[in-house]
Amino acid sequence: MVDSSTVFNLLRSHPKQTSLRFKSPVCLESRFSSTEHRNPVSNVTKLIAPRAPSYASVLQGLKELKPIQQIHAQIITSGLAQNIFLSNRLMNSYASCGLLNVAKQIFGRIQNKNLVSWTILISGFTKNERYFEAYEVFCDMIMSGFLPNVVTITSILSALANLGLIRVGRSLHCFLIRYGLGVNVFVETSLVLLYSKVGCMDVAWRLFDKMPDKNIVTWNALISGYSNKGFGDEVLQLFNLMQRNGFSPDFFTIVSLISGCSAIGSLQLGSVIHGCTIKTGFENDQIIKTALIDMYAKCRCVEHAYSLFDEMPVKDVVTWTLMLSSFSHVGYMNKAMQIFNEMIGVDEVALDSICLIGILSSCSRSGALQQGRRVHALMIKTGFEDDIFVGSALIGMYANCGNLESARKFFEGMKEKDIACWNAMIAGNGMNGCGDDAIDLLWKMQGKGLEPDESTLLCVLCACSHAGMVDQGLHIFHCMVRYWHILPNLQHYTCIVDLLGRAGRLDDAHLLINTMPLQPDAGVYGALLGACRVHGNIDLGLQISKKLFELDPNDAGYYVLLSNMYATVGNWEGVKMTRVSLRSKGLKKTPGFSSIEIDMEIFTFMAGDIDHPQYPEIHRILKIMINKIKEVGYVPDIKLVFQDVPYETKINILYHHSEKLAIAFGLMRTKPGTTIRITKNLRTCNDCHTATKFISKVFERPVVIKDVNRFHFFQDGACSCKDYW
Ligand SMILES: [Zn+2]
Ligand SMILES: [Zn+2]
């Protein structure tokens, strides 16, 4: 095998005049007639074998294998096997049936191979998506002293595009220009494809723009390039331009359009494209349908996705996994579980690791421990227990559901562990407040000869932050480059700002941000703003908020944080101002919801969810719950209600926070003493935090709340976060 640089150099150093040989017509078919007739060898063969042209013309019309083989046999018996014209035709016929190995055998037996023979073989491999073999043949060709013509270059460029070999591709582009080979729509399209595939959209666009003729393949090449880069707007502009130029979309256009739309997540455009698939008759194609499901899911319109999924007559494991992940992403955990259960009931669908990872991360997200355990049992039954990818997802699931013991047990029993398993275990310890264990694991991992990567160190730093281990965290952070040759990235900095903030070292955190070598992002500033809120440092908080609004003006979360901060120090003017600017920007707070798993079923509560089917009963328990904790000192913190409403209404809003509804439901539906596990999609508020501390004491129930930041273990009137979160 020749390496690319040799090919590259050979292409560059060939004496220019040799190219004259290749100033030939472009189309493969026309090349046969023109060059072959000029070739003295084939003229001689023609004299002694007058039947050759008739075989050739018969072969040209054949698409089926059997007659091709018959003609092949006749050619051999008539002693025409060495006729290059016929050999090339035969190769072409076999290649178009996908029998590249036969074509290659014929090629091997040709004594006087010409450029056409090489080109047929290269183009055959490319058309059958055997790109690497196409490239190998191309290299052999160059080494044998042949220079490519436009047809050869067109074929090899597609292969190079798919292999990502941009350097060789570029040198061929130069070659085309240098030797002034007559370009045409095919070779220009291959170039657009090459640059699009490797993401050089500027070059691709310039080439495209200058092309006098374009075909549907050219348009598709450019559209799919923009689509792969996630440039949804460009995709749609091109699509409109393409239609204005009189081209109707084909299968490939539709696929690119759908993935472009998924990238920008616009439902409106999604519907237009869906309409387009119906108009063009592609709506029943399995690939298109799967892509549409994905698109609707990405646009967060899971109902549309489901109805498409539901009407599919045959579903494969990819489609099932896609559907369950889509439900899980929008928070419909029960639906995700339901899909999984349905899927394992279908015999024809073979479970795979991707699907298991999908369902496990769905369990993680919703804290569905019982369901997660069932998946573990299924893993054992189906032989996926030793799969390290599924294994690390399982560790993550147990840790995320607050069951660190099971995570540890599984981790220790694993026959083989890769870095992802160690990282999952370290992260699990961190999440559950076991900072020392996380650091121990880091040393143990190194003892086994595994070097930590960026994520390992991030998990360790987060663990230190969650456990309040400031000195250890800072030490590891400062040693990152020296010990492990890893430069801290923005996430590492965010973690350290959080760590310093938690310890009340706001000035140190601020100094770190001002002196860090990277441009701080919203995450880094957000961590400091959170710390300002906890420690009531309004001045710094305001300063940081300004930065945040510049960096990320559309995140309602920061406005809420700032408004909470004003509320904490009783600055009502500030609260009002923040709320006005939030409203004037048309931003909406993400609605908070909490979920709880009881008997393998997930129950989700929104704040103020009085339409819940079990509401009357929940309301009764809620009243008892509030009264009991009030007796031991709970005072509702109405500062946290920002609406301008009477006191009674404020109290009522506070009591109907989703965590409180979920806890009341848990008290109602589980046996005394059972741990109540709640998962909340946002940060849990001060009032719910205080109330839960009292609940854990009064009702003698351990309560675990996993909010967006961390785990809170409430037991006997205290929380594991020590009131910092
Ligand atoms: Zn609350
Ligand atoms: Zn807490």
Q: For residue 40, is pLDDT > 70? A: no
pLDDT of residue 643: 67
- Cα 459 to Cα 373, 424, 430: the distances in Å are 24, 8, 7
pLDDT of residue 586: 67
Share of residues in the chain with pLDDT > 90 (%): 42
Token reading at 74: 């006749």
pLDDT of residue 13: 62
Domain range enclosing 190:
4-209
Q: Which residues pair with 718 in a beta bridge?
A: 715
- Cα 227 off chain centre by: 14
Distance 302 CA to ligand 1 centre (A): 28
More confident residue, 65 or 621: 621
More confident residue, 226 or 560: 226
Q: For residue 39, is pLDDT > 60? A: no
Helix spans in 185-228 (H): 185-197, 201-210, 216-228
pLDDT of residue 642: 65
- Collapse the DSSP code of 714 into the 3-class scheme (helix H, G, I; strand E, B; otherwise coil) and give the result: strand
- pLDDT band, very low/low/confident/very high, at 43 (cuts 50, 70, 90): very low
Q: For residue 41, is pLDDT > 70? A: no
Which residues, in sequence order, are CB contacts of 353 under 8 Å at separation 6+?
384, 387, 389, 390
- Is position 407 within any domain? no
User: CA-based angle 37:41:44, to the nearest 5?
Assistant: 85
User: Which ligand sits nearest to residue 685's alpha carbon?
Assistant: 1
- Is position 602 within any domain? yes
Distance 680 CA to ligand 1 centre (A): 10
User: Which ligand sits nearest to residue 686's alpha carbon?
Assistant: 1
- pLDDT band, very low/low/confident/very high, at 7 (cuts 50, 70, 90): low
Residue 579: left (phi > 0), alpha (psi -120 to 50), or beta?
alpha
User: Which ligand sits nearest to residue 693's alpha carbon?
Assistant: 2
Q: For residue 660, is pLDDT > 70? A: yes
- Is position 443 within any domain? no
Distance 636 CA to ligand 1 centre (A): 10
Q: For residue 682, is pLDDT > 90? A: no
pLDDT of residue 491: 93
More confident residue, 59 or 674: 674
Of 108-112, 143-147, 199-203, 266-270, least confident by mean pLDDT is: 266-270
User: Which ligand sits nearest to residue 684's alpha carbon?
Assistant: 1
Contact 191/207 with Cβ under 8 angstroms? yes
- For 454-508, the pLDDT digits (tens) are 999 999 999 999 888 999 999 999 999 999 999 999 999 999 999 999 889 999 9
Distance 562 CA to ligand 2 centre (A): 20
Q: For residue 141, is pLDDT > 60? A: yes
- Is position 89 within any domain? yes
- For 258-317, the pLDDT digits (tens) are 888 887 777 777 888 888 888 888 888 888 998 899 888 888 788 889 999 998 888 888
pLDDT of residue 203: 94
- Is position 35 within any domain? yes
User: Which ligand sits nearest to residue 717's alpha carbon?
Assistant: 2
CATH number of 149's domain: 1.25.40
- Cα 463 off chain centre by: 26
pLDDT of residue 18: 39
Distance 597 CA to ligand 2 centre (A): 20
Distance 418 CA to ligand 2 centre (A): 33
pLDDT of residue 35: 39
pLDDT of residue 210: 92
pLDDT of residue 425: 96
pLDDT of residue 19: 37
User: Which ligand sits nearest to residue 691's alpha carbon?
Assistant: 1
Distance 158 CA to ligand 2 centre (A): 57
Distance 714 CA to ligand 2 centre (A): 7
- Is position 636 within any domain? yes
* Separation of alpha carbons 321 and 685, rounded Å: 35
- Collapse the DSSP code of 97 into the 3-class scheme (helix H, G, I; strand E, B; otherwise coil) and give the result: coil
- Is position 214 within any domain? no
User: Which ligand sits nearest to residue 564's alpha carbon?
Assistant: 1
Q: For residue 22, is pLDDT > 60? A: no
SS3 annotation, 543-558: HHHHHHHHHCCCCHHH
Instruction: Share the mean pLDDT of the chain.
Output: 85
Distance 472 CA to ligand 2 centre (A): 22
Distance 659 CA to ligand 1 centre (A): 6
User: Which ligand sits nearest to residue 659's alpha carbon?
Assistant: 1
Domain total in the chain: 2
User: Which ligand sits nearest to residue 657's alpha carbon?
Assistant: 1
- Is position 81 within any domain? yes
Q: For residue 106, is pLDDT > 70? A: yes
User: 220: exposed, middle or buried (C-beta count within 10 Å: 0-12, 13-18, 19+)?
Assistant: buried
Where is the domain boundary, 187, 209, 231?
Answer: 209
pLDDT of residue 33: 38
Render the burial of 525-541: b for 16+ CB within 10 Å, e for the rest.
bbbbbbbbbbbebbebb
354 CB neighbour count, 10 Å cutoff: 14
Distance 345 CA to ligand 2 centre (A): 41
- For 554-594, the pLDDT digits (tens) are 777 788 778 877 877 777 788 788 878 777 776 666 778 89
Render the burial of 603-642: b for 16+ CB within 10 Å, e for the rest.
bbbebebeebebeeebbebbeebbeebeeeebebbebbbb
Ligand 2 ion: residues within 5 Å (CB): 712, 719, 721
Q: For residue 538, is pLDDT > 90? A: no
- pLDDT band, very low/low/confident/very high, at 52 (cuts 50, 70, 90): low
Where is the domain boundary, 178, 209, 240?
Answer: 209
For 626-645, what is the mean pLDDT?
Answer: 85
pLDDT of residue 469: 93
Q: For residue 37, is pLDDT > 60? A: no
Ligand 1 ion: residues within 5 Å (CB): 657, 685, 688
User: Which ligand sits nearest to residue 706's alpha carbon?
Assistant: 2
More confident residue, 475 or 332: 475
Share of residues in the chain with pLDDT > 70 (%): 91
Distance 573 CA to ligand 1 centre (A): 23
Q: For residue 342, is pLDDT > 50? A: yes
Where is the domain boundary, 164, 189, 209?
Answer: 209
